[in-house]
Structure 1
Amino acid sequence: MCLQHNNFSLRLKLLVIFIMQMAADLVLSQLHYLVQEESKHGTFVGRIAQDLGMQISDINSRRLRIVSKDGTDYFQVNLQNGILFVNKVIDREELCPKISICTVQLEIIVDKPVQIHHVDVEIEDINDNYPVFSSNEFKLFISEMKLPGSYFPLEGAVDADVGTNSITNYELSTSDYFTLDVQTYTQKSKSIQLVIKKTLDREQNPAHNLTLTAYDGGKPKLRGSTHLHITVQDVNDNAPRFDQLYYVVSLLENALKGTVVTKLNASDPDEGENSEILYAFNKLVPQQVTSVFNIDESAGIIRVVGEVDFEKQNLYEIEVDAVDKGHSAMTGHCKILVNILDINDNEPELTVTSLNVPVPEDSSVGSVVAVISVLDRDSGLNGKVDCHISKNVPFKIISTLREYFSLVVDGPLDRERISEYEIEITATDKGSPALSVTKLIKVPISDVNDNPPTFLQTSQTISIKENNPPGSHVYTVYAFDSDISQNSFITYSIIDSSIDGIPISSYISINPENGKVFALLSFDHEQLTHFQCQIKATDTGLPPLNSNLTLYVFIEDINDNVPAILSQFSNIESRLLEKVARSAKEGQLLTKIKAIDADSGYNAWISYEFKDPARNIPFAIGSQTGEITVIRSLDESSTDEYRLSVILKDNGDPIMSSTVSLVILLVESGQELPEERKTQNRNNDDFSDANIYLILSICLISTVFLITLISYTILRWHKYTQEINELKQHNFCSSIAGSWTYSQQRQYKVCLNGGPPKNDLILFTPSYPQTGDAISANGSLASDSTGQPRHPHPDWRYSASLRAAMQGAVHVEGAAILRGPPVGLEQQWPTVSSATPEPEGGEVSPPVGAGVNCNSWTFKYGPGNPKQPVPQIPPDFPENFIIPGSPAIISIRQDQPSTQSQKSNFITFGKKEETKKKKKKKKGNKNQDKGNNPADNSDQ
């Protein structure tokens, strides 16, 4: 009874431990499914997506997948409906040969966002295995001295199934002497004993043949049987007995060889050899136990002889026999349970379950990069693991679920700065001493389009020679992009714009792949000197980025235009016709050839020279100015006409030239060809297109000036009226200048070429006879015999040196009309057309021609007019006097001409209030008058 009670208590304890272990396993699992072993492929297991609360449509987008901890693929998930199904036939006995509850642990991983769910699939056993005995026949030797109730351990059958499908009971064939006693310690631990019902009598029945049958609890029940051949022995009738039938021992793993596990003690009531006991492992003990433990047969001490590893096996069941030395040896039996205690002898196992690389450089903080599984085969604190990563990286590691950790982004990423990170992940357990493992993973950073194409400069300047062939390559632009792959592929384009209404695409084009710029047409520097365009570089990223380059294009001039004389300078069919008086002096300027070249720069510098000049021509031409001057006296010339060819050369490479014909006619003073005058008048009336714009501009400016001047005149009119009324009491001396009178209006200054204006109006008096020519005391000029003022001699001739400037810009200034109050318009200043052909007259040179001040009048006496003495002004004659009836002041100055034989008197008309200013300018006017002498004009 005591033995049965102990067995019941032991079985109860084992049952409680087993139930608690099952409950703990179920709690640790989020989902638990049950499927029978040997299920066919496609067998339904469970609705994973529905049980996890996921929508069917989100399975693919969130990248649901299944991972088995042991790497098997017994199960798969249908991504269309979220059903977990059997992928491969499972043999529970092969998968879990020593575990009563066979569970396949699965990890359901969802990547977007990262989630991990644990799923335990329990493999339900089916009754597909028969109970099997190790042998078809067992031989037993039993002494006849055994008393009824004696029992003998039998080797039980083995059923690979578990639970109710495992062996539930044994049956023994009918016998009067033997019965079967089955003791259950745990679900899988049963003790089968053959019990003697009554005393054996070897003489009556020396042997017994029985059949032992094992039944399992499955449906239908399966069975297996073996034969027991029992031999009844005589002699020794007492078997050794252990002090305990059941021993429980604890042993640290990795125990050294020779470590004592326990010492057994058995006793035999017999005497002599029948009481001497030998200890040995039961023959039913498997080899995996005998390779680890050994027993001393005489002392009963069990020692460690092999490797003890908690992770391989944490519990050993050892059957020990105690055999006496009697003639008929008797055996006592006991069982030893050796529990292996864990120590921290296993490093954590670190596995990267999911690695989402490369990581985009614009990933937000918290983005999951990798899921890491850390497993430590130790138990307790020895199996608990913490993870950490290397410092100074924009990542961190966080714990997610059980032994899983996530590597997440913890800072900004920039692929252009660091394209790949090497992260050391260290897993350390909490054992003592702690063990750790380190794993290096590489996390490449993928590129995003965050850098626009960049030009080395924001603007570039290039030059293209004109007359380039259309389609020629003129320049190559280059931009670089810090990104890579597709984000760094750059295409070039020209931003739409126009030049004078013409699209820029008509001028240039660009290769979008290599940035080569091509000229689509042949440029002409004379039509287009420069332009600019915008070139855009765009990458192919999403979204695309771009930047602009301003390209300044200058058209470089080449020498492709021949020098040409200005049309207004040629008078007869591209032929220059010039006449010169035979009396022209050496060094006198005859004319100036004005030519232009449509090119620019050095290509437009023109030089002039005579083509094959004769040695005896009396003319020379300035190589740079084109001025033709007299180099020797013309009186010695025997011909009246010179036909010269002037070569116009530019300074380009190669040099281009043209030729113009020049005809020089030698004439006497006052002689002019009518045909030439008509041609000159006709040429003067011709205007080029360029002159039209110039004339329009001058007219516009003159109109504004006249409006301003009229406004000013109206404001000042009242003051002038008062001054005139005060001066009416004086009488105007009409003998001073004849019909040349000074009007009451202010003199107008007309300046067409920007020369400095003059406020003085200077009257040049002709040469008067020495006798009878004097200025009266009241300020009147000397008169002739008829009492009229002496008129200048009609034979004044203007200097031939001024003809060279007649083709230049016109500068007319200070041309005032003298009017007398009672007379009106009497006579204007002499013009070129007013010269008379009288042989005895003089000639006046009017202020016409380029750069000639109109105040500079040059008087020249003809060859038939002897130089006449100039009347001397009395020293007591007042310098300033007032003309009666006029608001003007007459200032008389006497200047010494360049030669002692020629003298002129100057009478200056001006306003009263400007008298002082005229005095200050007297010295300057004298110098100017000197420059207007015929001798000085030769230098012009």
Structure 2
Amino acid sequence: MVCSIPGNLPFILKPTLKNFYTLVTESPLDRESRAEYNITITVTDMGTPRLKTEHNITVLVSDVNDNAPAFTQTSYTLSVRENNSPALHIGSVRATDRDEGANAQVTYSLLPPLDAHVPLASLVSINPDNGHLLALRSLDYEALRAFEFRVGAADRGSPALSSQALVRVLVADDNDNAPFVLYPLQNASATCTELVPRAAEAGYLVTKVVAVDGDSGQNSWLSYQLLKATEPGLFGVWAHNGEVRTARLLSERDAAKHKLLVLVKDNGEPPLSASVTLHVLLVDGFSQPYLPAPEAAAADAAPAAPLTVYLVVALASVSSLFLFLVLVFVAVRLCRRGGAASVGRCSVPEGPFPGHLVDVSGTGTLSQSYQYEVCLTGDHETGEFKFLKTVFPKLLVQNIEKLKESPNCRNNFVRIFSYT
């Protein structure tokens, strides 16, 4: 008797005892490739004619956890518009496992971020059962335009197998920023005035409005428009670059001061805008001094700050105190020398010395002619200074002559400085 099976199966019949056979595997089985085999066993006798019989058996291949979960994509790119509502579904990831039962049950989790500075735990979360990703808070394109993280998928086999995929989230810009004017500054304490010569030709560049927008794409495209002017038709604004130019020749009949209101608008939907005020002054030439605005003139005419007044008073006080101390020092020195010999005395003749400054030129101003006289007295060998006096020769000529004729100071009277 002979037993046989088809030859295209990974099994063989192995004889053990007479007329006993064992079905064994000839090569490893893969349940994920083929989980069930229907085998027909044919038994043939050795008689003439030969007779045979057939018997069918079914072999089921049991599962082992030999397959890790596999994501449908190696990386995912998701997009979410900024200013989204919290708990918004932004996308999903999916992984499958070729095993069965618990070996094929997949759970999802967030893995540590690639960039440690990204606060992933406060940005997104994932549903462990279905892989749905729900943004946890409102996102701001200007603060965070994109971020990446990894998602893990693990089965429930023993031991568990896992895999991971990269997820990149792009934050789409929303038109939530109005244009910001860089020049001219609108919060400055003093207004900026542009000077334009009256001889300027048509198309003369007066100034340029510079603005930026924190958004991106068409939301940051800016256009400029002249809304209001003191004299319409005299100035124009180029829509795409913000240049302010003269629209025609200037004349003497045009007002000297002009005020322009320029609108800066982005291309978002809906558009956002900002306005800027320009001050223009027409002058006959750039050599003409700048005329301050009335506000600036009023500020210049305002009284000095209290601190300035205090400094002036303090300086005057210190100067007066210094002069007083010098006079006291001189007086004390003179008193100490009072007991010296009369030979060393310097007699000062009485005369009409002025007690205050007077006009000596007759023109209403003080004369600039001064002479300083020094009387050297005391011991001729030591040459000590005993008396120092400043006089005005044009008024005190007769007194000086008398002082020079004094017997004690005649030889010690020296002129040391003259300024005219």
For the residues of structure 1 that align with 2:270 and 2:189, how far apart are their CA atoms?
28
2:134 aligned partner, one-letter code:
F
Which of residues 276, 279, 288 is equivalent to 1:671? Answer: 288
**Residue of structure 2 equivalent to 1:644:** 260
**Residue of structure 1 equivalent to 2:156:** 540
C-alpha displacement at 1:470, in angstroms? 1.4
1:459 and 2:107 correspond: no
C-alpha displacement at 1:488, in angstroms? 2.3
**Residue of structure 1 equivalent to 2:276:** 660
**Residue of structure 1 equivalent to 2:109:** 493
1:594 aligned partner, one-letter code:
V
C-alpha change, 1:573 and 1:450, in structure 2 (3 Å) is farther
For the residues of structure 1 that align with 2:116 and 2:283, how far apart are their CA atoms?
54
For the residues of structure 2 that align with 1:617 and 1:629, how far apart are their CA atoms?
11
For the residues of structure 1 that align with 2:63 and 2:246, how far apart are their CA atoms?
84
Residues 432-581 of structure 1 mapped to structure 2, 5 A cutoff: 432-497=48-113, 499=115, 501-566=117-182, 569-570=185-186, 572=188, 576-581=192-197
C-alpha change, 1:674 and 1:571, in structure 2 (3 Å) is farther
**Any gaps of 5 or more consecutive residues in structure 1?**
1-384, 680-940
- Whether contact under 8 Å (1:498, 1:504) holds in the other structure is no
For the residues of structure 2 that align with 1:488 and 1:534, how far apart are their CA atoms?
21
Residues 859-874 of structure 1 mapped to structure 2, 5 A cutoff: none
Deviation string, structure 1 residues 896-932 (Cα, Å, up to 9, x no partner): xxxxxxxxxxxxxxxxxxxxxxxxxxxxxxxxxxxxx
C-alpha change, 1:622 and 1:573, in structure 2 (3 Å) is farther
C-alpha displacement at 1:637, in angstroms? 4.2
C-alpha displacement at 1:660, in angstroms? 1.5
For the residues of structure 1 that align with 2:253 and 2:6, how far apart are their CA atoms?
111
For the residues of structure 1 that align with 2:36 and 2:190, how far apart are their CA atoms?
81
C-alpha displacement at 1:468, in angstroms? 0.8
- Whether contact under 8 Å (1:576, 1:661) holds in the other structure is no
C-alpha displacement at 1:553, in angstroms? 1.5
**Residue of structure 2 equivalent to 1:23:** none
Residues 55-66 of structure 1 mapped to structure 2, 5 A cutoff: none
Residues 621-632 of structure 1 mapped to structure 2, 5 A cutoff: 621-632=237-248
C-alpha change, 1:548 and 1:401, in structure 2 (3 Å) is same
- Whether contact under 8 Å (2:230, 2:258) holds in the other structure is no
For the residues of structure 2 that align with 1:549 and 1:614, how far apart are their CA atoms?
64
> SS of the counterpart of 1:644?
strand
C-alpha change, 1:636 and 1:479, in structure 2 (3 Å) is farther
1:628 aligned partner, one-letter code:
V
C-alpha change, 1:482 and 1:588, in structure 2 (3 Å) is same
Deviation string, structure 1 residues 782-828 (Cα, Å, up to 9, x no partner): xxxxxxxxxxxxxxxxxxxxxxxxxxxxxxxxxxxxxxxxxxxxxxx
C-alpha change, 1:485 and 1:636, in structure 2 (3 Å) is farther
C-alpha displacement at 1:642, in angstroms? 1.5
- Structural RMSD (CA): 2.5
> SS of the counterpart of 1:446?
coil
1:603 and 2:237 correspond: no
Using CA pairs under 8 Å that are at least 6 residues apart, name the structure with larger relative contact order, 1 or 2. Answer: 2
- Whether contact under 8 Å (1:569, 1:594) holds in the other structure is no
For the residues of structure 1 that align with 2:65 and 2:289, how far apart are their CA atoms?
86
C-alpha displacement at 1:530, in angstroms? 1.2
- Whether contact under 8 Å (2:183, 2:210) holds in the other structure is no
C-alpha change, 1:645 and 1:499, in structure 2 (3 Å) is farther
**Residue of structure 2 equivalent to 1:415:** 31
- Whether contact under 8 Å (1:466, 1:525) holds in the other structure is yes
Deviation string, structure 1 residues 683-727 (Cα, Å, up to 9, x no partner): xxxxxxxxxxxxxxxxxxxxxxxxxxxxxxxxxxxxxxxxxxxxx
> SS of the counterpart of 2:112?
coil
For the residues of structure 2 that align with 1:514 and 1:602, how far apart are their CA atoms?
37
Deviation string, structure 1 residues 635-668 (Cα, Å, up to 9, x no partner): 2443222122111100001111111111212233
- Whether contact under 8 Å (1:496, 1:505) holds in the other structure is no
C-alpha change, 1:423 and 1:576, in structure 2 (3 Å) is farther
For the residues of structure 2 that align with 1:598 and 1:675, how far apart are their CA atoms?
35
> SS of the counterpart of 1:603?
helix
C-alpha displacement at 1:473, in angstroms? 0.4
Deviation string, structure 1 residues 429-467 (Cα, Å, up to 9, x no partner): 444544332111111222223333223332222221111
**Residue of structure 1 equivalent to 2:306:** none
**Any gaps of 5 or more consecutive residues in structure 2?**
297-420
For the residues of structure 1 that align with 2:86 and 2:125, how far apart are their CA atoms?
11
> SS of the counterpart of 1:486?
helix
**Residue of structure 2 equivalent to 1:391:** 7
2:56 aligned partner, one-letter code:
L
> SS of the counterpart of 1:487?
helix
Q: Calculate percent identity across the aligned residue pairs.
A: 40
> SS of the counterpart of 2:255?
coil
For the residues of structure 2 that align with 1:648 and 1:480, how far apart are their CA atoms?
54
1:594 and 2:220 correspond: no
For the residues of structure 2 that align with 1:598 and 1:668, how far apart are their CA atoms?
41
C-alpha displacement at 1:534, in angstroms? 1.4
C-alpha change, 1:574 and 1:623, in structure 2 (3 Å) is farther
Residues 919-934 of structure 1 mapped to structure 2, 5 A cutoff: none
- Whether contact under 8 Å (1:569, 1:593) holds in the other structure is no
C-alpha displacement at 1:632, in angstroms? 1.3
Give the TM-score normalised by structure 1: 0.30
> SS of the counterpart of 2:102?
helix
C-alpha change, 1:563 and 1:573, in structure 2 (3 Å) is farther
C-alpha change, 1:472 and 1:672, in structure 2 (3 Å) is farther
For the residues of structure 2 that align with 1:616 and 1:571, how far apart are their CA atoms?
26
C-alpha change, 1:671 and 1:453, in structure 2 (3 Å) is farther
